[in-house]
Structure 1
Amino acid sequence: MKKVNVMLSGILMFMSVGVFAQNTTDKLPATAQEFISQHFSSATIKEVQENSSWQIWEDEKYEVRFANGIEVDFDKNGNVLEIDGHKNVTIPVAALPSEIVSYLQSNYPDAKVVSWDKQDKGQEVELMDGTELEFDQDGSFLKID
């Protein structure tokens, strides 16, 4: 039994080494801090995680979780990669790239956005009603998914 406890302790310690959590943006790159200040200044930060380089998290280096359920992921340079409003919490449209904002204002003026994701080959926006819109890297509309 003692060997099992030692092994479990070692595994848990090893797993916890890769993620460093805090509740301030002090360790984030300036670009990420500015983005949060500009688009989420009134939101309360619940947790900021820095994912270590040895873990496999695509390009996500930092995860910022707000008390209202919104999560924002940044790369190592502080560029935003994803904004997700868990539990159908809407995200501020102004936080999206300007080309996508223009498209939404013209074609979905009353829609509520619950997530935005920047992928290798494009961007995706999910609306509260479940509609998923795909855009290219430049923000030009491609299709409804």
Structure 2
Amino acid sequence: MKKFLLFFVCAATAFGVSAAPQKVEFGKLPNNSQEFIQKNFPREKIKSVEMDREASWDKYTVYFNSGSQVSFEGGSGDWSEILMKNGEVPATAIPANIRTYTGNAYRGQQVKMIKTTKDGYELKLANGTMISFDKDGNFVKASK
């Protein structure tokens, strides 16, 4: 029984160590992730890039000196979340339907966060309003 317990503790420790995010070079990101950063965040200075192995996929997160960050799915290289500490999510990074809706319904409010969900998109405005959209970018609901 002691051997089994010792084996279990060692295995759990090894798994925990291997599951920790690892620093990687910007060039290790999928090409479309690199292009997304260069297009939408040309003035941001990259502080670090981390790869996190989650279950059966990899996730990359790019951290900027400003405190903002962008996460990407490792397989596809598509963005999954954009968090802005200062400023707002670049308009060019927001799907057109969502950009149009928020610009009209919440004029003057900065988009501070946008992420993909299994049902579509969710974003947070500077005033704390959370807005959900379906996969086509159509408004679903808003809450504060």
TM bin, normalised by shorter chain, reads 0.7 to 0.9
Residue matched to 1:66: 64
**Quick one: distance in 2 between partners of 1:135 and 1:60?**
25
Is 1:83–2:82 an aligned residue pair?
Answer: yes
Mean alpha-carbon deviation: is it higher for 122-131 or for 96-105? 96-105
Query: Deviations along 1:119-144, whole A, 9 cap, x unmatched?
Result: 00121110000011110011111111
Structure 2 stretches of 5 or more lacking a match? 1-8
TM-score when scaled to structure 1?
0.79
Residue matched to 1:28: 29
**Quick one: distance in 1 between partners of 2:138 and 2:58?**
24
Pairing 1:47-62 to 2, within 5 Å after superposition? 47-52=48-53, 55-56=54-55, 61-62=59-60
Residue matched to 1:96: 94
Pairing 1:35-54 to 2, within 5 Å after superposition? 35-52=36-53
**Quick one: distance in 2 between partners of 1:66 and 1:15?**
26
Residue matched to 1:3: none
**Quick one: distance in 2 between partners of 1:101 and 1:125?**
11
Please, which of 118, 136, 139 is the counterpart of residue 120 of structure 1? Answer: 118
| Partner secondary structure for residue 26 of structure 1 | helix
The alignment of Structure 1 onto Structure 2 pairs a total of residues equal to 132
Residue matched to 2:129: 131
**Quick one: distance in 1 between partners of 2:135 and 2:57?**
16
TM-score when scaled to structure 2?
0.80
Deviation at 1:89, TM superposition (A): 4.5
**Quick one: distance in 2 between partners of 1:139 and 1:82?**
15
**Quick one: distance in 2 between partners of 1:14 and 1:120?**
27
**Quick one: distance in 1 between partners of 2:47 and 2:138?**
34
**Quick one: distance in 1 between partners of 2:57 and 2:113?**
18
Verify the 8 A CA contact 1:113 1:125 in the aligned structure 2: yes
- Percent identity of the aligned residues? 32
Residue matched to 1:17: 18
Residue matched to 2:5: none
